[in-house]
Structure 1
Amino acid sequence: MPSSSPHVTQVADGVWSATGTDTNWVLLRDGSDVTLIDAGYPGDADAVEASVREIGARPEDVRALLITHAHVDHIGAAGRLLERYGVPAYTDAVEVGHAHRDHLEQANERDVVRNLWRPGALPWVLRIMRAGATKDVAVAHAQPFPAAGADGRLDLPGGPVPVATHGHTSGHTAYWLPQAGAVATGDGLVTAHALLRGTGPQLLPAFFNHGDVVAALDPLAALDADLVLPGHGDPLRRPIRDAVAEARGRVS
């Protein structure tokens, strides 16, 4: 079974990165109020709650869940957060239909089987199966972002700014955190994955992607940030433009 004890690291003032089953989420705290960016696999729901408590808050203090994209490893705790604590979920307007499961842009079992040749693939598959990778998960309550301020910030703890990085999915979104000089890149830019060789800024294997992931790096390169908080892999302290350049250089 997935662990209910996530690895939580404070990476900036009011910003934490948490890791569950081969996937990360980000917590932003302003006073006692919290914004959660992504929510792990279904089996990570206990770990998501535990991560909120670990930063000195309560699940009841989560004001919103922001979704980078609606793959099962990023929305797993969304239903519990709504049912137990009334937490709303927001994502890019283009991604809302995907979150509702009006359509599905996600690697299927055939894709995974075709990639079992990769080193580390079988242990990864076993881990994510235990975490609920094959569950039919939807976020029926997902809605487009509320109106942002003139500076693009949402009126939520941490003042996150949505940045459209459509590519990994049709409505994939990163979140720029100007006060922290950080950006939560979701799966648009990662630093490691069980199916990748080596670490550092890079793109996920092609079978995970549903659009032009290279072009989707452009908005990231334009941000003023020197801390990358990826959906997979460790946080990276490097100017985002340099991380993007390295990721582009690794594209074969």
Structure 2
Amino acid sequence: MRLTEVAPQVYAATGRAVNWTILKDGDDLTLIDAGYPGDLADVRTSLAEVGGRLRAVLVTHAHVDHIGGLPGLLATYDVPVYTSAREAAHARREFLEQAGPTDVARIAWRPRSWPWIRHLLTAGALDDVSVPRAEAFPEPLEVPGRPVPVATPGHTSGHTAYLLPGAKALVTGDALVTGHPLSGDVGPQRIASFFHHDVAVAEQALDILAEVDATVILPGHGPVHHGSAAAAVAAARAR
């Protein structure tokens, strides 16, 4: 795990195959996403390295590689978990919008797929993960770092990005990434379409991101990207 302060009080944590973000406000912390189940120890380490008291968790979307560390973490921290109303139901596993073993089997012939598949198996991707305490954002959302939710459905039907206005930083989840174990490229890009719940709506989410005033992109997969959100979306679409 690598931890980098990419803007004042905004920390990007890079796991083995997925990222999460920590916001610090005084002595208080907000965690955005929590990796695979196998990333739990690294999530705990990243919180300890930033230092402070965890006050809230935000979720971009409820795929296992973004909420997998939460059941273990919430056994220690009695904090709320917020996301959109639709995604909260997804996190509670009232329904599931996630690529499954059959989808993965269809791409197993790709040369890059096998290292990623091996990682899935060791990271707990097949675990039955849910977050029963997940709930819809309160009005107003007042958590450390003052993130602003940006509705970006498509990857999942309740996917949410988060704008950090003071830092001009944007946590994009999987609506826009800069790399992935299945991708041979680094830089702004769409995640593979078979991961999306609705490809057409995911494309519209890029239009939403392009309008956001941000110059630091913190994706769910791949390195942090410096540059405007509009330029990042344009680069992704140019691939």
Aligned positions of 1:78-227 closer than 5 A: 78-148=70-140, 154-211=141-198, 212-227=201-216
Specify the code of the residue in structure 2 equivalent to 1:119.
Answer: P
Worse-matched range after superposition: 175-184 or 217-226: 217-226
Q: TM-score, normalised by structure 1?
A: 0.92
SS of aligned partner of 1:62: strand
Runs (4+) off by over 4 Å: none
1:89 and 1:142 in contact (8 A); partners too: yes
Aligned alpha-carbon RMSD (Å): 0.9
Specify the code of the residue in structure 2 equivalent to 1:56.
Answer: G
Q: Distance in 1 between matches of 2:137 and 2:110?
A: 38
Q: What runs of 5+ residues in structure 1 fail to find an aligned partner?
A: 1-5, 149-153
Q: TM-score, normalised by structure 2?
A: 0.97
SS of aligned partner of 1:247: helix
Q: Distance in 2 between matches of 1:234 and 1:31?
A: 26
Q: Distance in 2 between matches of 1:69 and 1:42?
A: 15
1:21, CA displacement in angstroms? 2.8
The match for 1:229 is: 218
1:53, CA displacement in angstroms? 0.8
Say which of 7, 10, 18 aligns to 1:12.
Answer: 7
1:146-175 deviation per Cα after TM superposition (whole angstroms, max 9, x unaligned): 112xxxxx3111110000000100000000
1:82 and 1:88 in contact (8 A); partners too: no
The match for 1:151 is: none
Specify the code of the residue in structure 1 equivalent to 2:10.
Answer: V
1:21 and 1:41 in contact (8 A); partners too: no
Q: Distance in 2 between matches of 1:18 and 1:43?
A: 15
Q: Distance in 2 between matches of 1:125 and 1:87?
A: 32
1:196-251 deviation per Cα after TM superposition (whole angstroms, max 9, x unaligned): 1211111111110011211111111111100000000000001000001111222x
SS of aligned partner of 2:118: helix
Aligned residues: percent identity?
53
1:29 and 1:35 in contact (8 A); partners too: yes
Q: Distance in 1 between matches of 2:174 and 2:114?
A: 21
Say which of 228, 231, 234 aligns to 1:242.
Answer: 231
Report whether the alignment pairs 1:56 with 2:56: no
Q: Distance in 2 between matches of 1:156 and 1:82?
A: 17
SS of aligned partner of 1:84: coil
Aligned length: 237
